Structure 1
């Protein structure tokens, strides 16, 4: 079976697509997950928030952008690395977003606690 959203192959007993995290709909007359259960499911990144915070803090001692490389934002990580975290302002903004839980990975999923 394949995901309707991204086309990645899905195992028969999966509730979510391993590629994009899409909730699996009803297939072949079987309900994989009830709509009541789906209200309480939050899809998060496989990246940990604490590691991203530590890497972000390293930006203040000259290693700007490592947290962006970690979450898969390669291009902006390179920009941060070359500009010292956009003169520290970008690193401060990212640190605030990380602490508030608003920082996401490269596909838009919130980081895991």
Structure 2
């Protein structure tokens, strides 16, 4: 979904604005873009976050098993048929490279106006 490890900064910025941590799917850790310690899923770490945002993750059953205890699940994916949409509380069909920067901008505005 992110095309290459050089684009991970966008995820880190979103996490920073939210006061959150980053995680990744098994394929991302398997190819070395992110450390295996960040791999979430059935064969990785389970996550029970208040808010879990999946960016460009299709939603393999193993990944969903690892995040299923999260309270609110949001998916951002350009494939409206991605399996993650079936388990997400909120879904945005769109390109991560368009959606995430706009989301970051809006969150920064919200925080600035509500500080």
* TM-score, normalising length: structure 1: 0.23
Larger Rg: 1
Looking at secondary structure, tell me which structure has more strand per residue.
2
